[in-house]
Structure formats: structure tokens, C-alpha cells
Amino acid sequence: MRRFFKVNSTEIFLVIGFVISAFSFSIIISSTYRYYSEIVEQNKFYKDYKIASINVKDKSMELSEAITLFKKEGMDNNLTPKIATTIEIGDKFISNRIMGILGGFNIERYGEIEGRNFTTEEANGKGKLAIIGSGLKKYTNLQNGKHYIKVFNEYYEVIGVLNNSEFFKYESIIPINSFYFINNKYDTFNQLVAVDEINNLEKLSNDELKTRISEIPQESVLNYVFKKVPQLKENFYGLALGAVNLVLFSFFFAYGIKRKIAIMKVLGAKNRHVFGNILGKVLVISTLGIIIGLVLSKFTIVLMNKGFPNSYGDLDIYNILITCSLVYLISVIVSLIILFRVINFKILKEIR
């Protein structure tokens, strides 16, 4: 029966349809997955905290004094809002957001640490230590067997790298008390306070201090992704083109093999055997299309990230699995379309 399934021009176009679909799926996943993960993690993180604005009446207060007041009230899981800074690498500026913490912050809730975590004493202390996001790892300096990263205008020793987190990917987490401005005086402080410590914060409100607590708004995942990935619409056009190709050429493919299937039926082939042959053929075609599409996607991602750093996520196992699953699903649908087309025709007419 193999002679009935020689590759023809229609099948070549069907391969092209699968290539376009696999390429489009992979590019869409690569360009959106990073931002999807980032906003999901961000919303999860901000559910754990509220924003507290603390005003000092008629005078100013050192940041270190405010931290001492917090700790006296049993608050050791308050954080500074992220401070946007950059690291200059040649002619590039790499984002390095700074977040100050105290000993009650559970970093491992948000990712896996490569290296080690802070001890409670280190998190509450003044040591120049940092845990960085995985995106900053290649921008550290190695000196005497230790890695350092530039935070503000000082170098902090990197004791750990937080993996599996897009939200913290370009972030340096350091002890609040190590800030160079820890002894500066302010009349207003903004802190992220853990929701289970809000009651303790309210105890600080008195004649000298006034606290105002507000929720951190959750951002829509779809709005965030579309805002961050402007090329998403163009990718969907490519995906639609691939899907249209598959549907059109599946009908051409079905029409082209009608006579051959009719002969198989006359020779005694059952529908399940016919479907098995069709499914096998389409799976081979789709697999070839997936491989070519993923290779093209890999080259495109590498090229785009050179011109526009961090625009696309890596072509990782999740990308490949999702792409393969979606394209194979299309393969099965195409096979079903073909099967229903070929079992509903008159055998003798097709043989003639």
C-alpha cells in the first residue's frame, strides 16, 4: 500500500502549512510566556502585601529608626517597593531593580535558590549581600572565587540566584539596613507590608505617625501581555495563515487520494485501516513541519534577542511541548476531516 502514498505537491504544501503553524505557535509562546509568567507571579506576590504610606508629623525620621519601630511591633516582613536602577555593560544598560527586605521575608516562596538564602541575622543586618534574579547572573563580577553585583554604586556579594521566576528575574534582593541611605531622614515612608502584619502596623499610628494602607491593584493578564508584546497581533496573523493552509490543503489532500482509497476499499480495507494509513501519513507530515518550524523559530529567537535583548524567551522544553501538542492536535483534526471526506463517496464512481 505504500505506493498509494507517494509524496506529491499537495503534501508538500501541507508540510508548509504545518511549518507555518509550528513556527507561529513557537514564536507566540516564546514572546508571551515570559510576560504571562511575570504578571501571574506579580499578582500572586502583591496578594501577600499591601502598600503602607507612613507620614511623620512635624519632623523627619531616619529610615533606620522607622525600621526599628516596625521590628518593635513584630513586623519583620515589610519590604521596600522596587527601586529601578540599571547596570552599565559596555554600551548597554541592564535593568536591575532593587528590593530591600528584613528577616521575615520568605524568598523561597517565589522561586528556587541556587546557592543559599540569607540567614535571619544577615537579612536584618548591614552586610553587603544579595540574592539576584537569574537574568542578572551573567552580569556579575568574579573576584577571589566570589561573585559580586553592582547595587547603586557599591558591589554586593552574590550568595544566591533565584531561579524559575520571571517577576524577580532582573532584581537584586538585599537587606534594607545595607542601603547607603539608611540613615537619611524622611517625613514620608512607603513600604510593602505583609497582610498578616497590617494590624501591627496600625498600632504605630499616634500623634507623631500617621499610616495609610491601600490595596495593591491586580492587573489583567491579557491586558498586560498585549501591552508588553506589541507583535502579538502580527504573530496571530501568521498563525491564522498556517491554520487556513492546513484546512485548505487537507481538502486537496483528501480529494487527491479518493481514488486510491477506493481501490483499497475494494481490496477489503476497513475504515480503521484507511484511517490508520491517513493518520500515519499526516503525522509524518506534521512531524516534519514541526521540526522545520522549531528550527526556524530557534534561529529567529536568537536573531531577535541579539537586536532586542530579552524580547523572546528561550525555546525551552515547555515551548516545544506546547507547540508539538497544538500542532499534533491540528494533525488529528486534519486527519478526521480527510477521513470523513473519503468515506462519504461512491467507490465505483471513483474507481472509474
Query: 194 and 272: one domain?
Result: no
Query: 184 and 114: one domain?
Result: yes
Query: 27 and 63: one domain?
Result: no
Closest by Cα among 215, 292, 263, 312 to 20: 292
Q: Which of 206, 236, 260 is the last residue of a domain?
A: 206
What span, in angstroms and rounded, lies between the C-alpha atoms of 248 and 269? 27
Q: Which of 175, 206, 237 is the last residue of a domain?
A: 206
* Contact between 30 and 301 (Cβ < 8 Å): yes
211 domain-assigned:
no
52 domain-assigned:
no
Given the C-alpha cell 485501516, which residue does it identify?
273
Query: 237 and 343: one domain?
Result: yes
What span, in angstroms and rounded, lies between the C-alpha atoms of 17 and 92? 39
What span, in angstroms and rounded, lies between the C-alpha atoms of 193 and 195? 6
Q: Return the pLDDT at 351.
A: 54
151 domain-assigned:
yes
Query: 143 and 261: one domain?
Result: no
Count: domains in the chain: 2
Query: 306 and 247: one domain?
Result: yes
Q: Digits of tens for pLDDT over the chain (352 positions)?
A: 444 445 567 778 778 878 887 887 887 788 788 888 889 999 999 999 999 888 887 778 888 988 888 888 888 888 998 998 988 877 778 889 999 999 889 999 999 999 999 999 999 999 999 999 998 998 999 999 999 999 998 999 999 999 989 899 999 999 999 999 999 998 888 889 999 888 887 777 665 678 888 888 899 998 888 887 766 666 677 667 767 766 777 677 767 677 777 777 777 777 778 778 777 877 888 888 888 888 888 888 777 766 666 666 666 777 788 888 888 887 777 767 766 766 665 555 555 5
Measured over the CA atoms of residue 201, residue 206, residue 209 and residue 215, the dihedral's sign is positive
Query: 159 and 88: one domain?
Result: yes
Query: 117 and 173: one domain?
Result: yes
45 domain-assigned:
no
Given the C-alpha cell 484546512, which residue does it identify?
247
Q: Give the global pTM.
A: 0.74
Q: Return the pLDDT at 1.
A: 44
Query: 81 and 191: one domain?
Result: yes
Q: Return the pLDDT at 5.
A: 45
345 domain-assigned:
yes
Q: Return the pLDDT at 281.
A: 78
Residue 265: which domain range? Answer: 2-38+223-351
28 domain-assigned:
yes
Q: Give, for 198, the enclosing helix (H) or strand (E).
A: helix 198-202
276 domain-assigned:
yes
Q: Which of 176, 206, 236 is the last residue of a domain?
A: 206
**What's 82's DSSP letter?**
P
How many helical (H) and strand (E) elements, i.e. helices and strands, does the chain have? 10, 14
Name the amino acid, one letter, at 197.
Answer: E
Query: 342 and 238: one domain?
Result: yes
Query: 192 and 253: one domain?
Result: no
8 domain-assigned:
yes
Q: Return the pLDDT at 2.
A: 47
Query: 239 and 314: one domain?
Result: yes
